[in-house]
Amino acid sequence: MNALSSILAIVAGLVAGFIILLVSNASQALGGFKTILTGGFSDMFNLGQVLYYATPIIMTGLSVGFAGKTGLFNIGASGQFTCGMYASILVAIKCSFLPNPLQCLAALLAGVLAGAIWGFIPGILKALRNVHEVIACIMMNYIGMYLVNHLIKVTGIYDQLKNMTMRVPTGANLPSLGLNSLFSTATEQGSVRPSSVGSGILIAIIACILMYIILEKTKFGYELKSCGFNREAARYAGINENRGVILSMVIAGALSGLGGALLALAGAGRGIAVVEVLAGEGFQGIPVALLGLYNPIGILFSGILVAYLTQSGFLLQRLNFAPEIIEIIVSIIIYFSALALLLKGVIKVFFQEKDGTGDANKEDGDGGDG
């Protein structure tokens, strides 16, 4: 039933996307829709790009999903992601004296720590002062964005010509493990065009598996979920609910921070532009988590799906579709993905009525009244 609700959300989004294609360019609509469905699998390069784009949104989706499993709504993944990305770039540039493996590891840990700190603040406000985490996280998003913009300029990692952070040293990048060469394609000139995918996707997969084990198979995970869903019951059972809320937000922030670090150290030259715009990867994590129904394994696949649609959308430009149309289609699909939980409830009610469960309950109630 859970999978069915997500599938219906995806189908509904694709149908809406096809309607948008018909309205914008009816003659190319069928070809454009085929591109959306198959573009990511058209060759190994595009498939590699799907995995590259999926890596950060899997991590932010995992962050939102982990908090959601513990009864919290971490809408602050964008700020945590930005802080993690900044910290990893800063350490990678400033610690260039370290050997290559240590330089990369230090940058990764810096990203995780920065994200954890940015998640700790709304967590402690929620636990000790009962400040709603949504309000606190929204404020932390903007504080993080403006703070990082300022720090980029004063910490010596600012490239004035590009108005963004300097390029991460090659030695600090994550090893590709040959994945960029595996997911590559030959050009017409006879050269090989490697994709941007690297070992970051493997780290994201491991993170999903680890979070699933923690949440579903450990006492620690049970305590976190108990504190999130019913703090009074958790307190009655002898669980420190304040500690649970804080740890949930810290772990969620660390996951988003790791996502920022994986993007910064992917070797594709991505940096932080000094602009007053929140990181989109953080907000993409919300529909990824909703589509995955907050399950870490489901989030892994939903993150790949959203990245697949995004990469396929890039290919639509070959059919003379404007970039704005592509963004609209992806946004509609994401919007319907957010309805997965609602569809889950509708499907549950439908099957209950079909099985006669509702009628049986009604008869029991009528018998009691009689």
Of the ranges 8-12, 253-257, 267-271, the best mean pLDDT one: 253-257
Q: Are 156 and 138 in contact (CB under 8 A)?
A: no
Instruction: Kindly report the number of other CB atoms within 10 A of residue 147's CB atom.
Output: 16
| C-alpha torsion angle, residues 72, 275, 171, 191 (rounded to 10) | 110
pLDDT recorded at residue 315: 87
The token pair at 96 is: 């260039």
Q: What angle, rounded to 10 degrees, do the helices at 323-337 and 280-291 form?
A: 40
Cα end-to-end span (Å), the chain: 36
Q: What is the number of structural domains in the chain?
A: 1
What's the pLDDT at 358? 52
The parent domain of residue 130 ranges over: 2-357
In this structure, is residue 363 part of a structural domain? no
- Residue 367 is assigned to a structural domain of this protein: no
Flag the least confident range among 67-71, 107-111, 303-307, 340-344: 340-344
User: How far from the centroid of its chain's Cα atoms is residue 132's Cα?
Assistant: 22
| Cα–Cα separations (whole angstroms), residue 322 to 13, 36, 308, 312 | 19, 14, 19, 14
Amino acid present at 50: V
Q: Where are the beta strands (DSSP E) in the chain?
A: 158-159, 164-165, 184-186, 192-194
Poorest-confidence range of 60-64, 195-199, 239-243, 272-276? Answer: 239-243
Which residues in 169-274 belong to E strands, given as ranges? 184-186, 192-194
- Pull the structure tokens for residue 115: 């994200």
Condensed to tens digits (0 to 9), the pLDDT of residues 106-152 reads: 999 999 999 999 999 999 999 999 999 999 999 999 999 999 999 99
Residue 347 belongs to domain with CATH number: 1.10.3470
Residue 51 lies in a domain: yes
Residue 309 counted as domain residue: yes
The pLDDT > 70 percentage for the chain reads: 90
- How far apart, in whole angstroms, are the C-alpha atoms of residue 127 and residue 231? 10
Q: Residue 194, SS3?
A: strand
Tell me whether residue 215 is in a domain. Answer: yes
Triad 95, 261, 313: Cα angle to 5°: 140
Q: Which amino acid is at 244?
A: G
In contact, 73 and 133? CB cutoff 8 Å: yes
In a domain, 18, yes or no: yes
Over range 312-337, report the average pLDDT. Answer: 78
Rounded mean pLDDT of 206-213? 98
Q: Are 139 and 130 contacting, i.e. CB atoms less than 8 angstroms apart?
A: no
Q: Is residue 179, in this structure, part of any structural domain at all?
A: yes
**Burial group, residue 363, by CB count within 10 angstroms (0-12, 13-18, 19+):** exposed
Do 197 and 179 meet the contact criterion of CB atoms below 8 Å apart?
yes
Task: Answer whether 306's CB lies under 8 Å from 329's CB.
Answer: no
pLDDT in tens, 87-100: 999 999 999 889 88
CA distance 94 to 102: 13
Rounded to 5°, the CA angle 263-269-270 comes to 45
- Residue 47, CB-side half-sphere exposure with 13 Å CA sphere: 11
What does DSSP assign to residue 192? E
pLDDT of residue 209: 98
Residue 207 lies in a domain: yes
